[in-house]
Amino acid sequence: MAAASASSFTSLKSRPAPGLATIAAVKSGAPLSFSFRRPVPAVSRLRISCAAKPETVEKVAKIVKKQLALPAETPVTGDSKFAALGADSLDTVEIVMGLEEEFHISVEEDSAQSIATVQDAADLIEELVQKK
């Protein structure tokens, strides 16, 4: 289910921190989905960030495909959800570890929790790289 990955370079993102369960914030009244791999904080979180560079998104996609043994031509975009691609909790932790090694960063447990899509990972990476 590839979705368009349109991300402008600067965008004010207001969205829940979905965690690895593909869930919309309970408060929004959107339908709940139930893949309880990681629970989701009940509070929505406003994220103000610049969208990550396409190259970062590409690198994340590559690491994800490698971890999940997806064929290279599998369409993986910013909007692709880890869980939907077949990542379980062990895969996700391995992916985060791969990202830490690739980008020389350290991802805290609760930040890792908030990564649901490739875009989330790329944005977090750039945030952490900038802070270094």
Partner 1 sequence: MLSFLRRSYLNFSFMNPQYCCLSRNFSAALPPLLPVQLPSRMETHLWYVVPDEVKSAPLLSKYMELLPQSERDHVLGFRGDQLQKSALLARTLVRTTIARYQVDGHLDPRSLRFKRNIHGKPEVEWETKDGFCPPPLQFNISHTSSLVACGVTINSLIGIDVEEKRRRTKNNILAFAKRYFTAHEVEHLNAIPDSELQQQEFIKLWTLKEAYVKALGKGFSSSPFNTFTIRASSGIAVETLDSPQNLTNNWQFALLELMGSHYVAICLERQETGGAGKTLPIKLTARKTIPFVEDELVSGTNAVVTIGGSVTQF
Q: Which of residues 41-80 bind partner 1 (CB under 8 A)?
A: 41-42, 66-67
Contacting partner 1 (CB under 8 A), which of 58, 79, 88, 127?
88
Q: Which residues pair with 117 in a beta bridge?
A: 81
State in angstroms the smallest separation of the CB of 9 from partner 1.
28
Closest separation in Å from C-beta 59 to partner 1:
16
Give every CB contact of residue 113 below 8 A, 6+ residues apart in sequence.
Answer: 17, 19, 20, 38, 41
Least spacing, CB of residue 47 vs partner 1, in Å: 16
Amino acid, single-letter form, for residue 46:
L
Does 28 engage in binding with partner 1 (CB under 8 A)?
Answer: no
29 binds partner 1 (CB under 8 A): no
Residue 112 CB-density burial (10 A; 0-12 exposed, 13-18 middle, 19+ buried): buried
Q: Which pair of tokens denotes residue 44?
A: 């929505």
Q: Is 110 a catalytic residue?
A: no
Among 35, 45, 46, 54, the residue binding partner 1 under the rule CB under 8 A is: 35
Q: Where are the beta strands (DSSP E) in the chain?
A: 10-14, 46-50
**For residues 11 and 50, is the Cβ–Cβ distance under 8 A?**
yes
Residues that bind partner 1 (CB under 8 A): 1, 19, 21-23, 26, 31-36, 38-42, 66-67, 81, 83-86, 88-90, 93-94, 97-98, 100, 109-110, 113
- Residues taking part in catalysis: 88
